[in-house]
Structure 1
């Protein structure tokens, strides 16, 4: 550790303690050249991966965007705020656990879909319809059929004239 006063590389640790919050290590140091004392802190650095969008551009991970997407899908659905917070935590844990510096936005979308499927089926279908760019009713029907205990063919209904 360089001395902040004389920039000497030769410093000595005099005292080491865990911070009151328990999230950092505090070290008192002394420079062997200028004899001045200073304090350093050691903290865990958790860096979320960059998000690579479909067009190839990169942006910082933004938890408020994730929350907004979930809230839009869950609008007027009976899902508690703690359940939503938990889903966000699960997604963020998976992103951190990946160990990747960059992750495709498509992969984040899949994580969101997984959590929504667990939380609320309607919200899951809402999100999927936008995320997967549904173009007709048949795609909605196929998604809904995923949740039926036994997939059965739909009866053909007569068209109204």
Structure 2
């Protein structure tokens, strides 16, 4: 594993342990060159999945490999300053990744992943849910937020 500080490829594992949900291994490493310590995570990848992005204006749909880091970043942005723990985010992202990989399809539409994120965030934090929806559903006016927020509030009452 390459050191993120000095780019040396000679690093040593100092400690390994499973994460709380046993879906990955957390490894503490130390660089033999600069002495820096850093953490890596090892996860099971069941199959290669390609994400199909919707084409715009008659363009063909773009395809790219499923990227857990990208998904994690999007969820983290939606949850920023909301009191949602890293463990909750990691569980949500791991659950979505598992669903995508075990669905049996080599390709998954990006819209499906977006819906899975929204379903997960709905149960974690309503503000994070609305934040993610605003980007995912491309809200363009304040009225879009108001309408969506009112449906979230009504759903919470029932």
Range of TM-score over shorter length: 0.5 to 0.7
Distance 1:150 1:133, change over 3 A: closer
Measure how far apart 1:97 and its partner are. Answer: 2.4
SS at match of 2:130: helix
TM-score for the superposition, normalised by structure 1: 0.62
CA contact (8 A) 1:48 1:95 kept: no
Which of residues 97, 105, 125 is equivalent to 1:100? Answer: 105
Aligned residue number for residue 109 of structure 1: 114
TM-score for the superposition, normalised by structure 2: 0.63
Structure 1, unpaired ranges of 5+: 1-43, 152-161
Q: Distance in 2 between matches of 1:70 and 1:136?
A: 22
CA contact (8 A) 2:46 2:102 kept: no
Residue pairs, 1:1-161, within 5 angstroms: 46-55=46-55, 56-149=61-154
Structure 2, unpaired ranges of 5+: 1-43, 56-60
Measure how far apart 1:149 and its partner are. Answer: 4.0
Distance 1:127 1:150, change over 3 A: closer
Aligned CA RMSD, in angstroms, stands at: 1.9
Q: Distance in 2 between matches of 1:92 and 1:45?
A: 9
Q: Which of 1 and 2 has greater Rg? A: 1
Aligned residue number for residue 24 of structure 2: none
For this pair of structures, how many residues does the alignment match? 108
SS at match of 1:47: coil
Measure how far apart 1:99 and its partner are. Answer: 0.7
Measure how far apart 1:150 and its partner are. Answer: 7.6
Q: Distance in 2 between matches of 1:142 and 1:67?
A: 27
